[in-house]
C-alpha cells in the first residue's frame, strides 16, 4: 500500500463571469472522477493581507469576501503580492483566480507554514487574465500570489481568490484514537498471555520466512507482546520489530530466543558459506526480557540499523555477535540493555554500547566503543581496540509504546539523563512521562500528508504503523515536545524532491524508529532539524533522534544532496545510519547521487552511534561549535570511477569521511573509524579519513583507518598524520589527535 499522491483533476469554481453550459457539463463529468478535490472555498472570509492597495476601497479582504463585485487592487508597480491565512495546514488541490482587467502576466503561487518560508507550487510567465482554475498540489497554512509582471499599465487586481482542499474543503479530518483498542493496522501483531502458543509461533514463523532474505522488499512488520510470560522462538528477518509492551523489559518475559542468524548471504567465493552478517540490516529487538533454554547461547549477528535496545538477556551463558564461526559482521548497537552474562563479539568489526550493563565482554577487532556501560572492558587502544567513557554526558532514551494496568496504550517518553551509567530501568522505575495514545494520530499507509500535518497542527503526536508512505509534501513538526514514533521500520519516501520531515527550532521533539528512503527526484535535504539560521538554546530540553535511518538507492533509484541537516542547537542523535546504497537497485555513481550524509550547523550537537557510508563528498560535515561524537563508523564510496571524479580540490585526493570545518574552535570525538574498498578502481586514493582544524579545542581520541582487503588507499588517518592504510598495512591506528 502507498499514500495516494495529492492531486485533483477538476473542481468547479463559480466566480465572476460564470462558465458556459458546455463547459459546465464537461467539468461536471470530470468532477465525478475527481471527488477528492472539494468544492468549498477554504479561503472564504479568511484574513488577507497585501503588499499594497491602490486605494482604501480596494482592500486585500475584498478578494476573499465571496462578492464578485468587490476586488483587491495593488499599486502600479512590480512585484506585488496577496496573502491569505487559511487558518490551519490545508492540502490544496486547486486555486481559482478571477482577474479584473488589470491582471498578472507573470505570477507565482506559494504555500507556507509560517508566512516566512515559502514553497512554490505554480508559476507562469504567460498569464492571460480572466478566470483561471489551476489544479495544484501542496500543503500549507498560508497561500500567497506574487505578481512579477503586470499585464497592463495598472496594478494587479483580483475579484476573487478561491482555494480548494482535497477533502471537501473543511480541512483534513484527523480520526480519533481509542487508547484501549487502537487500530494499529494489518502489519502489527499483538500477543497477550491468552494467545495460543501455537498461533503465536506460527505467525512468527510466517513473518520470519517471508523476511529472511527480503532485503529490499516493501513488507513491514511489528510483533508486540503485552505484559506476561511467553514461550517463543523469534527469528528476526528484515523490516521486523519485536518489542514488549511493558513499562519495564522485565514486564514481558519470553522463554526462548530473540535472535538474528547469519545464514543466508554468501561470504567470499564459496557458495556454501552463508555465514556473512554484513547485510543483516533493518530490524530491532526492544523492551523484552529473554531467557534462553538451559545452556543455549543467544545470537545477534547483525550489522547496521539493527539495535538491541532496552533488552534484558537473562539465561544465555553468552550472546554472540557473529555467526559463531568464520562469518563477517560489521557493526551494531546495545543501548539501555542488561546482559546478565558475557558478550562475545567475535568477528564483529566495530560495535557501540551505551548505558548498558554486561556480565562481561570478550572480543575486539577495529573499534569497540562503550559509554556509560558497566561491565565494559577497561580502556585500551588499539590492541584490543576498546574505547571506554565511564559516563554518558547527556542522553534521552528512545520513546516506546506500552500498555498500562488498565489495558490502555500509551507512549512513554524517558527523561533526559546527565552523567549517567547503566540502564534507565534496572535500578527502579525509569524517569519520564507517559502520553496516552488518545493524543496520537495513528498513521496508516494511505494517509495523506495534509491529514498528517493537520494532526500536528492540532497538537497531536504521530505513531506510524509499519508500511511504506509515499509523500508528496513535507511532514512539518512545528510544536515543541512532539513525538513522532515509527513501528516496524515505517518508511517515508518523498516523491517530489522535498524533505520528508522538517522540525522547527523548538524544544524537545523526538523522532524515532523511522527509515527515510530518498525518492527519484533529488531532495536538497531529506530530514531537516531546525531551519537555516536557528539560534535558540535547547540545552534543557533538546530535540533527539533515535534509530533514524536514511537510504539513498538500494530499493530503487533515490537522490538527495544532504540526508540529515541539523541546524538547531543541542540536538542529540541516538543511533543513526545514513547510507548511500552500494548494492541493490538504483545504484551507480551517477544514479543514486548524494553529497553529504550529515551536515551539522547547530552548536553543542551530540551524536551517539553514528554510521555514515558511501556518500560522494564529505560524509559528515560539521560546521557548529561544541560538537561531540561517541563512535563513528564509515565506509568511503565503493564505486568511485576515477580520481578526477572524486576530489575536493587543492591537491586533496577524495573527500574526508568526517570534516570539521575550519572555523570550528571546539569539537571532540571518541572511537572513530573509516574504511575504503575502492573495488571498481583499486588505484583510488583518499588523502585522509578525518580532516580537522589544528586547534587545541578540536580533539579526537582512538582513530582507525582500514583498507578492506587492501583494496584502495587512505594516505593518512587525520590531516597529514597517522600513516597509510593500503595493501601492505591494512589498518592504521592513532590514539589521539592532536
Cβ(295)–Cβ(383) below 8 Å: no
- Taking phi over 0 as left and psi of -120 to 50 as alpha, with beta for the rest, 43 belongs to alpha
Displacement of CA 471 from its chain's centroid (Å): 13
Question: What is the C-alpha to C-alpha distance for residues 411 and 404, in angstroms, rounded to an integer?
Answer: 10
Cβ(478)–Cβ(454) below 8 Å: no
Cβ partners under 8 Å of residue 65, min gap 6 = 44, 45
Question: What is the C-alpha to C-alpha distance for residues 438 and 652, in angstroms, rounded to an integer?
Answer: 55
Cell numbers that stand for 549 in this block: 535511518
Cβ(255)–Cβ(229) below 8 Å: yes
Cell numbers that stand for 160 in this block: 476573487
Cβ(674)–Cβ(692) below 8 Å: no
Residue 455's alpha-carbon distances to 89, 552, 603, 622, 692, in angstroms, are: 9, 28, 30, 33, 43
With b meaning 16 or more CB within 10 Å and e meaning fewer, what string describes 367-394? bbbbbbbebbbeeebbeebbbbbeebeb
With b meaning 16 or more CB within 10 Å and e meaning fewer, what string describes 48-62? bebbbbbeeebbbeb
User: Which phi and psi angles does 31 have, rounded to 5°?
Assistant: -60, -35
Catalytic annotation, pick one of 298, 397, 635, 691: 635
Cβ partners under 8 Å of residue 236, min gap 6 = 208, 242, 258, 259, 260, 283, 284, 285
The 3-state secondary structure of 448-490, one letter per residue: CHHHHHHHHHCCCEEEECCCEEEECCCEEECCCCCEEEEEEEE
Question: What is the C-alpha to C-alpha distance for residues 623 and 430, in angstroms, rounded to an integer?
Answer: 35
Write the DSSP string, 661-677: -TT---EEEEEEEEEE-
Would strands 461-464 and 228-235 be described as parallel, antiparallel, or unpaired? unpaired
Active site residue 100: no
E-state strands within 100-130 = 104-112, 118-124
Residue 138's alpha-carbon distances to 19, 471, 517, 566, in angstroms, are: 26, 11, 20, 24
Cβ partners under 8 Å of residue 392, min gap 6 = 354, 355, 371, 372, 417, 419, 420, 421, 608, 630
Would strands 318-320 and 298-299 be described as parallel, antiparallel, or unpaired? parallel
Cβ partners under 8 Å of residue 208, min gap 6 = 234, 235, 236, 237, 240
Cβ(145)–Cβ(112) below 8 Å: no
Task: State the burial class of residue 199 (Cβ atoms within 10 Å of its Cβ: 0-12, 13-18, 19+).
Answer: exposed
Task: State the burial class of residue 736 (Cβ atoms within 10 Å of its Cβ: 0-12, 13-18, 19+).
Answer: exposed
Nearest in space to 669 (alpha carbons), one of 613, 566, 600, 726: 600
Task: State the burial class of residue 728 (Cβ atoms within 10 Å of its Cβ: 0-12, 13-18, 19+).
Answer: exposed
User: Which phi and psi angles does 7 have, rounded to 5°?
Assistant: -155, 155
Residue 408 is classified by DSSP as: -
CB atoms within 10 A of CB 561: 18
Residue 279 is classified by DSSP as: T
Write the DSSP string, 10-50: ------TT---HHHHHHHHHHHHT-TTS--S-TTTT--EEE
* Enzyme catalytic residues: 635
Amino acid at each position: 500500500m502507498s499514500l495516494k499522491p495529492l492531486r485533483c483533476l477538476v473542481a468547479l469554481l463559480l466566480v465572476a463571469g460564470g462558465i458556459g453550459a458546455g463547459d459546465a457539463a464537461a467539468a461536471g463529468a470530470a468532477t465525478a472522477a475527481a471527488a477528492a478535490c472539494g468544492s468549498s472555498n477554504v479561503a472564504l472570509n479568511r484574513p488577507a493581507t497585501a503588499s499594497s492597495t491602490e486605494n482604501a476601497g480596494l482592500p486585500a479582504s475584498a478578494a476573499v469576501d465571496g462578492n464578485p463585485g468587490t476586488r483587491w487592487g495593488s499599486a502600479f508597480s512590480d512585484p506585488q503580492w496577496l496573502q491569505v491565512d487559511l487558518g490551519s495546514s490545508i492540502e490544496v488541490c486547486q486555486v481559482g483566480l478571477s482577474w479584473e482587467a488589470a491582471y498578472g502576466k507573470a505570477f507565482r503561487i506559494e504555500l507556507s507554514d509560517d508566512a516566512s518560508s515559502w514553497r512554490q507550487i505554480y508559476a507562469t510567465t504567460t498569464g492571460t487574465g480572466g478566470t483561471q482554475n489551476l489544479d495544484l498540489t501542496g500543503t500549507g497554512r498560508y497561500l500567497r500570489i506574487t505578481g512579477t509582471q503586470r499585464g497592463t499599465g495598472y496594478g494587479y487586481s483580483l475579484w476573487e481568490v478561491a482555494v480548494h482542499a482535497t477533502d471537501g474543503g473543511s480541512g483534513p479530518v484527523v480520526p480519533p484514537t481509542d487508547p484501549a483498542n487502537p487500530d494499529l493496522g494489518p502489519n502489527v501483531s499483538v500477543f497477550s498471555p491468552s494467545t495460543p502458543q501455537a498461533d503465536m509461533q506460527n505467525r512468527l514463523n510466517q513473518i520470519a520466512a517471508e523476511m529472511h532474505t527480503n532485503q529490499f522488499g516493501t513488507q513491514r512488520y511489528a510483533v508486540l507482546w503485552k505484559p506476561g510470560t511467553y514461550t517463543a522462538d523469534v527469528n528476526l528477518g528484515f523490516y521486523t520489530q519485536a518489542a514488549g509492551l511493558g513499562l519495564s523489559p522485565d514486564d514481558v518475559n519470553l522463554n526462548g530466543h530473540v535472535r538474528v542468524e547469519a545464514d543466508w548471504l554468501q561470504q567470499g567465493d564459496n557458495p556454501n558459506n552463508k555465514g556473512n552478517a554484513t547485510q543483516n540490516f533493518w530490524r530491532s529487538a526492544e523492551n523484552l526480557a529473554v531467557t534462553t533454554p538451559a545452556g543455549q547461547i543467544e545470537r545477534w549477528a547483525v550489522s547496521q540499523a539493527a539495535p538491541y535496545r532496552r533488552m534484558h538477556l537473562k539465561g544465555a551463558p553468552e550472546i554472540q555477535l557473529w555467526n559463531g564461526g568464520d562469518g563477517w559482521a560489521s557493526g551494531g548497537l546495545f543501548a539501555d540493555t542488561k546482559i546478565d552474562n558475557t558478550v562475545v563479539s567475535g568477528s564483529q568489526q566495530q560495535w557501540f554500547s551505551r548505558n548498558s550493563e554486561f556480565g562481561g565482554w570478550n572480543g575486539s577487532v577495529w573499534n569497540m566503543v562503550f559509554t556509560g556501560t558497566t561491565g565494559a572492558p577497561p580502556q585500551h587502544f588499539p590492541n584490543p581496540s576498546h574505547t571506554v567513557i565511564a559516563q554518558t554526558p547527556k542522553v534521552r532514551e528512545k520513546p516506546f509504546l506500552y500498555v498500562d494496568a488498565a489495558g490502555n496504550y500509551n507512549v512513554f517518553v524517558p527523561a533526559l539523563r546527565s552523567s549517567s551509567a547503566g540502564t534507565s530501568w534496572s535500578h527502579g522505575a525509569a524517569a519520564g512521562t507517559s502520553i496516552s495514545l488518545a493524543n496520537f494520530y495513528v498513521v496508516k499507509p494511505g494517509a495523506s500528508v495534509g491529514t498528517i500535518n493537520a494532526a500536528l497542527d492540532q497538537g497531536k503526536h504521530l505513531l506510524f504503523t509499519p508500511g511504506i508512505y509515499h509523500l508528496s509534501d513535507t511532514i512539518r513538526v512545528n510544536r515543541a515536545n512532539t513525538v513522532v514514533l515509527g513501528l516496524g521500520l515505517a518508511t517515508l519516501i518523498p516523491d517530489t524532491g522535498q524533505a520528508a520531515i522538517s522540525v522547527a527550532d523548538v524544544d524537545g521533539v523526538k523522532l524515532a524508529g523511522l527509515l527515510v528512503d530518498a525518492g527519484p527526484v533529488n531532495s536538497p535535504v531529506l530530514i531537516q532539524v531546525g531551519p537555516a539560521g536557528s539560534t535558540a538554546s535547547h540545552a534543557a530540553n533538546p530535540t533527539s533522534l533515535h534509530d533514524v535511518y536514511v537510504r539513498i538507492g538500494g530499493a530503487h533509484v533515490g537522490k538527495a544532496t544532504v540526508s540529515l541537516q541539523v541546524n538547531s542547537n543541542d540536538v542529540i542523535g541516538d543511533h543513526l545510519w545514513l547510507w548511500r546504497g552500494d548494492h541493490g537497485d538504483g545504484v551507480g555513481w551517477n544514479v543514486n547521487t548524494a553529497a553529504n550524509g550529515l551536515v551539522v550547523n547547530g552548536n553543542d550537537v551530540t551524536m551517539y552511534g553514528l554510521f555514515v557510508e558511501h556518500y560522494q563528498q564529505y560524509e559528515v560535515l560539521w560546521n557548529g561549535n561544541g560538537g561531540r561524537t561517541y563512535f563513528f563508523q564509515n565506509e568511503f564510496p565503493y564505486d568511485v570511477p576515477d580520481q578526477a571524479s572524486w576530489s575536493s580540490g587543492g591537491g586533496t585526493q577524495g573527500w574526508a569521511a568526517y570534516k570539521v570545518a575550519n572555523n570550528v574552535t571546539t569539537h571532540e570525538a571518541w572511537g572513530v573509524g573509516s574504511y575504503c574498498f575502492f573495488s571498481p578502481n583499486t588505484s583510488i586514493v583518499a588523502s585522509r579519513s578525518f580532516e580537522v582544524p589544528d586547534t587545541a579545542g578540536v580533539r579526537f581520541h582512538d582513530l582507525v583507518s582500514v583498507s578492506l582487503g587492501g583494496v584502495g588507499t587512505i594516505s593518512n588517518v587525520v590531516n597529514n598524520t597517522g600513516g597509510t592504510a593500503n595493501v601492505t598495512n591494512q589498518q592504521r591506528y592513532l590514539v589521539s589527535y592532536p
